[in-house]
Amino acid sequence: MPTIAISYRRSDSSAIAGRICDRLLAHYGEKSVFMDIDDIPFGIDFRSHIQEILQRTDILIAVIGSKWLGSNADGSSRMLEKSDPVRVEIETALERKTPILPVLVDGAKMPDSTELPVEFGNFAYLNATEVASGRDFRNHMERLVGAIDSLTTGTTALPTSSRRQPAAPARRNLPNDLLRYFLLPLVLLLVVHHIVINAYDLNTLYLQIGCVGIPLLFGAALSRLSDRSAVAAVAFAIGLGIVGDSAMTVSQSLYSGDPIMPQTRFEWWDNIDFAAIIALGYLAGYIGERTLRKALGSKFTRA
């Protein structure tokens, strides 16, 4: 595995640099990626600290946004200051001949050589890759991983369809995803059911609202925070619908003493309705978040 350091300016690209780091951590492992190079202990010469980090680095990722050069209160460029940590990171990598891969985020362009310190040499002419925070983020990250592999191993990365390693993090994270996006909404559904039906015998409309709202939120969270595909979302939705409805039926039966299995056609249809409401609410949240993210991504891309 290559050892990767990520250089970025906090005032420029902190959020997307964090997303890039998370994706690289998932692919290469926690011991392979350093992000906050300039997170320097007190009393330590930051130049020595940066040199120590880059001694263990196979490649430096330079995340470049629209404000990467930095700006002081008087309008002067921070990048032209000898003491600027981002400048020191780039200069140190150049001195050590560490491969540097510029990553342009959210439509940023490579700075002109006239805007950079003389010590940067041909940095302005390095071939950069792009990472957008919108709908293309996943595809751009796959391309970035391929570029890293190519630079660190000297071989061309395999197409995405034949890459086996990126699937491993999803398998490792499956228990966490089941806990966050399946068991947690299941528990909340049971709590709402107990309050509405068992404890206070309220109108079932309130239960229906809960059976839509809770899955809706967690379906959106699955789309936003997880790498799960639409197929996985459908599986989560159907599973939550069936298990959620069954668990609520058992809870009500144990509380009231009625038979667990539905006894009439109406009771069967009532169970099917609630299972469908839960499943469709979950899928609506997943699809709605994806659609909104794509719409916003298109807006930012056009801008």
Query: Phi and psi for 258 in degrees, rounded to 5?
Result: -75, 165
Is residue 117 domain-shared with residue 133, that is, in the same domain? yes
Is residue 208 domain-shared with residue 135, that is, in the same domain? no
SS3 33: strand
Average of per-residue pLDDT values in the chain: 86
| pLDDT at 283 exceeding the cut of 80 | yes
pLDDT digits (tens, 9 = 90+) for 15-46: 999 999 999 999 999 889 988 654 556 666 76
Domain boundary (122, 146, 162) is at 162
Domain boundary (131, 162, 193) is at 162
pLDDT digits (tens, 9 = 90+) for 142-186: 999 999 998 888 644 444 433 444 444 444 468 888 999 999 999
Measure the CA dihedral 128/132/136/137, to 10°: 90
Is residue 140 domain-shared with residue 174, that is, in the same domain? no
Tokens describing residue 149: 């592999």
CATH number at residue 63: 3.40.50.10140
Give the pLDDT of residue 44.
Answer: 67
Is residue 81 domain-shared with residue 8, that is, in the same domain? yes
Is residue 290 domain-shared with residue 181, that is, in the same domain? yes
Give the pLDDT of residue 297.
Answer: 52
Tokens describing residue 155: 């071989």
Is residue 41 domain-shared with residue 83, that is, in the same domain? yes
Is residue 149 domain-shared with residue 172, that is, in the same domain? no
| pLDDT at 124 exceeding the cut of 90 | yes
Domain boundary (162, 187, 218) is at 162
Is residue 236 domain-shared with residue 296, that is, in the same domain? yes
Is residue 210 domain-shared with residue 128, that is, in the same domain? no
C-alpha 22 chain-centroid distance: 7
- End-to-end C-alpha distance for the chain, whole angstroms: 37
User: Would the CA dihedral through 171, 173, 175, 178 be positive or negative?
Assistant: negative
Is residue 142 domain-shared with residue 247, that is, in the same domain? no
What's the rounded mean pLDDT across residues 269-295? Answer: 91
Is residue 53 domain-shared with residue 136, that is, in the same domain? yes
Q: Which of the two residues, 214 and 255, has the higher pLDDT score?
A: 214
The span from the CA of 220 to the CA of 206, in Å, is 21
pLDDT digits (tens, 9 = 90+) for 230-242: 888 999 999 999 9
What's the rounded mean pLDDT across residues 278-282? Answer: 96
Contact indicator for 138, 144 with CB cutoff of 8 Å = no
Q: Tell me how many domains the chain contains.
A: 2
Is residue 61 domain-shared with residue 207, that is, in the same domain? no
| pLDDT at 269 exceeding the cut of 80 | yes
What's the rounded mean pLDDT across residues 134-138? Answer: 87
The span from the CA of 247 to the CA of 237, in Å, is 15
Q: Which residue range(s) make up the domain with 142?
A: 4-162
